[in-house]
Structure 1
Amino acid sequence: MKKAKKIIVYGGAFNPPTKAHHAILQAIVDEAKKNDNQVWLVPSGDRPDKSIGIDVNMRLKLCEALMKSIDNQGVNLELVDYELRTNIETNTLESSLYFEKKYPNCTFIWVFGSDSIKTMRTWPGGEQLFSSLHMLVIPRPDFDVTSLPPKAKILTVNALPTSSTEVREKLKNGHSVDHLTPEHVARLLGSSSLY
């Protein structure tokens, strides 16, 4: 019997990608390398609680720039635009069900920050997600690891807490963001007037 392919799914707005996103993605690739997994970078679409506000094609270019900055070590790292290309608002439950149906021979491992774990049960389908999704959880210093979901494991990432909001504000005010974003992302941001 053929072993199921495992795919680590790292979703987020990445608006724009920061050095924190870079550190997380590199840690995910390092983890995938150990277990012969694939990695999918999945930029989120608009949601009821968050509108992204920039062109889909530019979002994809920003994610591609993030991926260029990663040492993929032979790991299959793919940009998956499912959420961006749907014309409806998406959420984690819908995306997980879609991927499971489309790729029934794959096991998906979802990446979340511990702040998401704390609120997950309040999301659409949150109880189902909490109990059934395979997860890698990136803990914040105050996170109680005894509250992990049943199919979760910790992924430690050494990243400075740089937010995309901070990067957008600096760009709006005409400041450099080279120290906050990966090199390829900084170049792309420098050559456009997105924010």
Structure 2
Amino acid sequence: MGRGTALKRIGLFGGSFDPVHSAHVALARLALQHLALDEMRWLPAGRPWQKAHRALAADEHRVAMLKLAIGREPRFVLDERELHRAGPSYTIDSVLELQAEEPAAEWFLVIGQDQHVRLHTWHRWQELLARVTLAVAPRAGESGQASPQVAALPHAEVALPAMPVSATDIRERLARGEGIDGLVPPAVARYIEQHHLYQRGTPGN
């Protein structure tokens, strides 16, 4: 590790990744550097409780796109545990499992500013924040503030240049038959085209 007896530093990056896009990858790479992480765990959500109203693309498609997007970075690790868990996907459940598996590690939860604003609504959020260090990435167009209880807690900021891209925007573009060049990694764009994902009337739209 190059830090003597320092704890292993592991980042956690969860989301529906429907689809994974270039801003996700850019943020994760910056977090590796900014937080001096040894590893970044990508945790695709199985049944995200915040998005219960919307059908996601099939798990196998989201996993395949993630593998294409992150496969060349050895410090990126795909963790599929939430896809195999019954019931809603709660971050605290994954954190408890991971910390039991690697009790000596130091854990960082990487989230966007939009998630930070709503963090006080998360399941068992106080327990979650007692177990991880928050790393918050500013998001273009997000002006909301975290609740006072959450804002008072220490957190790191990952200086991510504003990128006007979101998975929602990408899905809407595809449903309209528009291009997504530069918004997702090229291999992901090819996969979406080959499997006719996010076209109007398909799951995820």
| TM-score normalised by structure 1 residue count | 0.84
Q: Name the residue aligned to 2:94.
A: 95
Q: Which moves more between the two structures, 22-31 or 141-150?
A: 141-150
Q: Which secondary structure state, in structure 1, belongs to the residue aligned with residue 108 of structure 2?
A: strand
Q: Name the residue aligned to 1:47.
A: 48
Supply the AA of the counterpart residue of 1:23: A
- Contact 1:10/1:42 (8 A) holds in 2: yes
Q: Name the residue aligned to 2:28.
A: 25
Structure 1 runs, 4 residues or longer, greater than 6 Å off: 143-147
Deviation at 1:49, TM superposition (A): 2.6
Question: 2 CA distance for matches of 1:132 and 1:150?
Answer: 12
Q: Unpaired segments of 5 or more residues in structure 2?
A: 199-205
Question: 2 CA distance for matches of 1:188 and 1:152?
Answer: 36
Q: Unpaired segments of 5 or more residues in structure 1?
A: none
- Contact 2:11/2:108 (8 A) holds in 1: yes
% identical aligned pairs? 24
Deviation at 1:177, TM superposition (A): 1.4
Q: Which secondary structure state, in structure 1, belongs to the residue aligned with residue 51 of structure 2?
A: coil
Question: 2 CA distance for matches of 1:15 and 1:175?
Answer: 17
Q: How does 1:6-155 map to 2 (within 5 A)?
A: 6-31=9-34, 35=36, 37-51=38-52, 52-68=55-71, 72=73, 76-140=75-139, 142=143, 148=151, 150-155=153-158
Q: How does 1:179-190 map to 2 (within 5 A)?
A: 179-190=182-193
Question: 2 CA distance for matches of 1:65 and 1:149?
Answer: 38
Question: 2 CA distance for matches of 1:132 and 1:138?
Answer: 19
Q: CA, structure 1 residues 144+53, in 2 after alignment: closer, same or farther (shift >3 Å)?
A: closer
- Contact 2:11/2:37 (8 A) holds in 1: no
Question: 2 CA distance for matches of 1:144 and 1:47?
Answer: 22
- Contact 1:139/1:156 (8 A) holds in 2: yes
| TM-score normalised by structure 2 residue count | 0.80
Aligned length: 189
Deviation at 1:81, TM superposition (A): 0.7
Deviation at 1:156, TM superposition (A): 0.6
Q: CA, structure 1 residues 144+174, in 2 after alignment: closer, same or farther (shift >3 Å)?
A: closer
Q: Name the residue aligned to 2:201.
A: none
Report Cα offsets for 1:33-66 as digits up to 9, x if no partner.
xx35211111112123314522211111111122
Deviation at 1:16, TM superposition (A): 0.5
Q: Which secondary structure state, in structure 1, belongs to the residue aligned with residue 161 of structure 2?
A: coil
Of the candidates 142, 162, 166, which is equivalent to residue 165 of structure 2? 162
